[in-house]
A and B are shown apart, each in its own frame.
Chain A
């Protein structure tokens, strides 16, 4: 593997982590969706680059899927949903920006320490890809726990899943990557349809997940 191949792969994977940070402090749903579209776009580029340097044409399918489905269709659909639900101006943040960013940095440091230490034998590209991927996964998780809105939880889940696709494509020659990315797309489609079909808004008058908590189990 020559230098420039490695550098570009590194650059793309690193940008994914940065964009995850951008997502972390967006407090308007519209802006959040735009940043997520960018996230998916960079993922598509990164996967396509892996397909090129690994000479693995089937990965182009995964890249195309990421581009079409996650960078275009899902953001557009979610835009429409939030407009129809009338929450597009909503501002929401459970913990402050500062706290969320600090927690995010701690998580990235954690994943670097863990992954770089345990993968000393692996080849450098796969190794750093994995460290970046784990950071993206953990940042996605962080976003899911710091948000209350159902739509932004879904965005958190999708960026978590982008991290997984990054890890899977970084592992050279991994089988079933395409199948797994298709399975994930189905999962996400279900979630998005779920938001809409269950009409969380209609039933609860808000997509704020905290409102759902009122209905939690334990009938009194």
Chain B
């Protein structure tokens, strides 16, 4: 029998989820969780070497294999972090063993849903997968069952469901547009068939469809007027879930949006999706940058930073063209790696200090030097200072915008600088000064944190030419 990477990427998490519901001990299940994510990551990696031949429901191309490798990699490192994080939660009694078992199973279901959303060649299947991913994260956000956690889960639930519902309406409209051209039945939802016929679709219908899809999936990306669920969900759930939400789930929704953007790009009579995405992206960036100043909760602060960066990425893809798309892809990769690294650090910081309130923590570099400097490095990276990876991708976004529309670039730079100052203002209280809060020793595994930071650092200094060629190829695909 031949090794089938697609089946592995989908079935390993699913089987692991089933097995994890049965394993009682938390050490065993945490280990099993790591093993399953490693296996998924390795099979995803194999897609680069042997391109699988999927059926009509699934699809593998350069675009989604990039996303899948990123998703499974961060999924893997997060599971390593989760193993060292979650034991502490059990000791402090925030989680019971039953909930922990549930948590591990849900983690794998989430990995399955995200991989399915990326692999789906059918816009209906993609929608169902994103709904499944939403449901599992809702359950995990509410897992502590405190007032705040339940409120966050409820808010996420309602806003996420509305977003998902609008996206479905958009999906139905796309089918309506496709039906006169490709005929009735399944063909009208298969993405590869849609993209070859999209130039003959009714442009007016496609336009309306895209607006609904942008509002629907945009809610899940966390774009500014629709972002209300995001800070709560990040702050109240377990930190590994914050890392996965920020680093991965937002990307998945953006990926869905990109697929539909490609459809519209083929149809010359339809409206250009770019300006809409550029506008929403800039609003998110500037809004989130200002919101960074008044945050009192460390996880909420980094949640707003995620909105800011999703804004930049959406902006870059909205600008379009090979260079801006390249910058967007690079920024997305860098943001996923950096933001999850930051949440790894923040998770341990919150455990050590026994609080998430910024005012109650201080002098981290004195009490826990490794963790403190790890966090500082992460913030330096996310703020976009050289020589780290995000500096390079932000520089590319800004410089490619300056050439085409200087006015937009000025707003962009303004937002970036405001965000940078906001982050460092808060970092100063946390990392330096008089030590405050708990003084517990950390029993953390620093491996996930520093391996992410090392990657971001290395890619900031030197991008391998193979990677550049790959990203250029994907950027061309995005049009």
Contact = CB atoms under 8 A, between A and B. Distances in A.
B189 A176 contact: yes
A173 to B, nearest CB: 3
Contacts of A171: 172, 175-176, 179
Interface stretch (A90-98, A99-107, A210-218): A210-218
Nearest to A117: B204
Interface string A177-220: 00110010011001100100010100110000100110111111
A150 B154 contact: yes
Contact of A175 (B150, B176, B185, B295): B185
Contact of A217 (B176, B189, B207, B232): B232
- Tell which of B165, B173, B207, B208 has the most Cβ of chain A within 10 Å: B165
Nearest to B296: A218
Interface string A128-159: 00100110010001001000001001000100
Interface string A109-120: 000001101111
Given A173-B188, A176-B125, A219 B296 contact: yes
B151 interface: yes
A145 to B, nearest CB: 10
B172 A194 contact: no
B154 A183 contact: no
B236 interface: yes
A173 B161 contact: no
A34 B172 CA distance: 29
Contact of A119 (B150, B157, B205): B205
B236 A157 contact: no
B401 interface: no
Contacts of A176: 122, 124-125, 128, 186, 189
B138 to A, nearest CB: 8
State the majority secondary structure of interface residues on A. helix
B157 A191 contact: yes
Nearest to A115: B208
Interface in B186-237: 186, 188-189, 202, 204-205, 207-208, 231-232, 235-236
A168 interface: yes
Contacts of A175: 124, 185-186, 188-189
A144 to B, nearest CB: 7
B165 A212 contact: no
Contacts of A126: 176
Given A118-B204, A174-B188, A180-B124, A215 B172 contact: no
A194 B236 contact: no
Nearest to B211: A114
A119 B176 contact: yes
Interface string B131-163: 110010010001001011011111101100110
A49 B309 CA distance: 48
Contacts of A220: 296
Interface residues of A, number: 50
A160 B162 CA distance: 9
Interface string A38-77: 0000000000000000000000000000000000000000
Contacts of A212: 147, 150-151, 154-155
Contact of B161 (A114, A157, A219): A157
A194 B154 contact: yes
Contacts of B232: 216-217
B363 to A, nearest CB: 20
B142 A217 contact: no
B127 A180 contact: yes
A24 interface: no
A164 to B, nearest CB: 5
Contacts of A209: 154
A13 to B, nearest CB: 15
Contact of A219 (B124, B152, B164, B357): B357
A161 interface: yes
Nearest to B207: A118
A156 to B, nearest CB: 9
B165 A137 contact: yes
Given A118-B205, A150-B154, A171-B175, A218 B297 contact: yes
Given A212-B151, A217-B148, A217-B231, A172 B179 contact: yes
Nearest to A220: B296
A11 interface: no
Q: Which 7 A-B pairs have the closest CB atoms?
A: A173-B184, A118-B204, A176-B124, A215-B147, A175-B186, A212-B151, A167-B172
Given A176-B125, A203-B150, 17 more contacts: A117-B204, A118-B202, A144-B162, A153-B158, A157-B158, A157-B161, A164-B172, A167-B172, A171-B172, A172-B179, A173-B179, A174-B175, A176-B128, A191-B157, A212-B154, A218-B295, A218-B300
21 contacts: A118-B204, A122-B180, A137-B165, A153-B158, A167-B169, A171-B172, A171-B175, A171-B179, A176-B189, A180-B128, A180-B168, A187-B161, A191-B157, A198-B154, A204-B147, A209-B154, A215-B148, A217-B231, A218-B295, A219-B296, A219-B357
